[in-house]
Structure 1
Amino acid sequence: MGVSRRSYAAQRGVSEAAVRKAIATGRITTLPDGTIDPDRADAEWGAQTDPAKQRGQHARQMGAETAAGTARATATKPVPQAALKAVADTLRDAGTDPGGAEASGGEVSFLRARMANEVLKAQTAKVRLEKMKAEVIDRARATAMVFDLARRERDAWLNWPPRVAANMAAELGVDAHRMEQVLDTYLRAHLAEMAEVKIELR
């Protein structure tokens, strides 16, 4: 037999509503009698929750352990100056005071490193969005350009019979004026058929 939801909430340092929600969403499971095994629930909660979104006493404990681990790692293996400078430059570009990370003996807080990471992700997303906007075609502008191109193409064809009728008539031995009229008639009929084509820009 385990503990009640209220007892587990108090042990974990979260609200009873948070425990109920975790059970309802399948993040943690209860024992057959409806009670909670604290050890199993802690393991399930930790395995199915983003550490960045942890709350309560358990989350604070994890944060303290992470900070302690970072401090130990810093003490045993100094953070490269290039990495410190990258964090400081990123925060400075975002309009945030880097806090003298480069001048603090080679130490940089986990919070500032994470802040720099979030800034970089936001900047990357912005670049991608700008690229996508550049690749998107404005429908009204595209329609106007297609219409203008088609009109110029039509005008060029309508001006073609007067320019070639005389030469064609001479080669065929027929009346030049009649040749131009025939070409113009058939050409206009052909252009009328082409005008029936509908362009859909979706």
Structure 2
Amino acid sequence: MPDDTISIREFARREGVSDTLVHQALKKGKLSREPDGRMNPALVGSGWHKEESSAKRFAEAAKNDEELATGAGPVRGVSYGEALRLKENWLALLRRLDYEHKAGSLVEVATAQRVVFDLCREQRDAWLAFPSKVAPFLAVEFGIADLERLTASLAAHVHNQLADLGEPHARFDGEQL
């Protein structure tokens, strides 16, 4: 045996982990063996066993769970442990949604649509009232005697502008409005 390599158990001992974890890392490709089947001691302390961020692991687990639940992924049997993990992940997602809803950082789509509709209606009503409010001031400023004709002309232009704008269509899927 060459002096510059160490056994898997010695590698695990130096790293402060179990040799099972080292074997799993070898299977996943996080670590590699030397040609003689032993480990390079320079890899000790390289951070290979550091966990990925919990957010990344959570997102990957949720994606895998969704594929299993919707049948988008490959059809296969699920072991009891896997089913339990799926259940716990979905319960965690539901608790997270409940928390965000109670904290006020999550709003139901129906509520958001109602708010957007009400705001657009207020703006439309303000524009429809604009000609009758501003026409007397314009008539005095420009010396126009026929106030009714000026009001009707302004109202027609406001109506055309509102028709050009069309109906508001709010999108809540992250796409641009």
Compare the two structures and name the one with the higher helix fraction.
Answer: 1
Q: Please give the TM-score of this superposition, normalised by the length of structure 2.
A: 0.39
Which has the greater radius of gyration?
1
